[in-house]
Amino acid sequence: DGTDAAAMGLRAGDRLLEIDGRPVGDLQAILAAFERNTGPRIAVVVERGRERLALTGRFPPEARLGAPRTIFP
């Protein structure tokens, strides 16, 4: 669909487990991970069905400005 999330392999229904090597269990942890990331790349671990997948992708500057929707629609 042309988003950075799609380009890195994220799909609707994926459950975020880690961002940049740190576990994320709620929205606050996800937002904190975005703030810590100094990019230009981001690494995530997701659960898809019964699989755990490690994905990496671009982390655009606008994500660090409090707009995670640009990465995860």
Phi, psi of 51 (to 5 degrees): -105, 150
Chain segment 31-47, per-residue pLDDT in tens: 888 888 877 888 999 99
pLDDT value of residue 44: 93
Are 24 and 34 spatial neighbours (Cβ–Cβ below 8 Å)?
no
Phi, psi of 5 (to 5 degrees): -60, -45
pLDDT value of residue 70: 47
Put residue 36 in one of left, alpha, beta given phi > 0 → left and psi -120 to 50 → alpha: alpha
- What's this model's pTM, rounded to 2 decimal places? 0.76
SS3 sequence, 16-52? EEEECCEECCCHHHHHHHHHHCCCCEEEEEEEECCEE
Chain segment 44-66, per-residue pLDDT in tens: 999 999 999 999 988 776 655 45
